[in-house]
Amino acid sequence: MPVLATLALSFLQATPPPADVPLAWKDLVERPERWLGRSVRVVAQYHSRVEAWNPYLTRFGPGQFSAHQLWSDEQLPWVVAEHASPAVRLFTRRGAASEWALAEARAYERFELTLSVRELFLGLPWCEVTEVLPLAESIPEGTVIHAAKALRLIESRAHSLARSELDQALVPGLPLRARNELERLREACRRAGEPAAKGARASR
């Protein structure tokens, strides 16, 4: 089958996510041609406004658009590599309501964003934000700091101290995936500390 026909068939067969479930950013990136010209919803956590970028051959020049960098909802920002590489770059049209909505956004705030997938370039979807919905659940900076410290302590086998840091990281209002991962780490620290504790009691 010719390449263009294959791409057209793939586009037509694309199955949108259920109306109440946002699309994972990784799914959008893996097969961006499926979503070209369509609107999708994603959840992402704000990192920063991008002051300068290369629009290449796209429409997203700085005269018409602002750019924003965010962590995808699949990323765990307390992991050093993921904190340093927020995966999501999106664009808001200057003067549009979406730009106003993100103008005062602060790092670690979490949003549900409606995107129009305008172009594909360099293997990535280039998307315009058309709607912005702030979310109550987020991974706050304090959680990131305590969880990152816990990971360093785990590497040093200081599991009791790591567990204490994870206790502080587990605050109300965390997204489910983040909470589950922190609880998993805390349970692993508890189990790792059990043999030492039993050995200490046996030696008394």
For the stretch 58-71, pLDDT in tens is 999 999 999 999 99
Q: Is the pLDDT of residue 3 over 70?
A: no
Span of 36-40, 79-83, 115-119, 199-203 with lowest mean pLDDT: 199-203
| Segment 117-172, tens digit of pLDDT | 999 998 999 999 999 999 999 999 999 999 999 999 999 999 999 999 999 999 99
Q: Is the pLDDT of residue 72 over 70?
A: yes
- Please give the average per-residue pLDDT across 90-98, as a whole number: 97
Q: Is the pLDDT of residue 4 over 70?
A: no
CA 83 vs. chain centroid, Å, equals 10
Start-to-end CA distance of the chain, whole Å, equals 76
E strand spans, 35-176: 39-50, 65-72, 88-93, 110-121, 124-134
Q: What is the CATH number of domain 20-134?
A: 2.40.50.140
Please give the Cα distance from 62 to 60 (Å, whole number): 7
**Domain boundaries, given as residue ranges, for the chain:** 20-134, 141-198
pLDDT of 193 reads: 81
- Please give the average per-residue pLDDT across 178-201, as a whole number: 82
Q: Is the pLDDT of residue 2 over 90?
A: no
Q: Is the pLDDT of residue 23 over 60?
A: yes
Give CA angle at 77 (76, 80), nearest 5°.
110
Q: Is the pLDDT of residue 5 over 60?
A: no
Please give the Cα distance from 84 to 202 (Å, whole number): 45
Q: Is the pLDDT of residue 109 over 60?
A: yes
Tokens (6 digits) for 8: 């057209």
Answer yes or no: are the C-beta atoms of 187 and 166 closer than 8 Å: no
pLDDT of 49 reads: 97
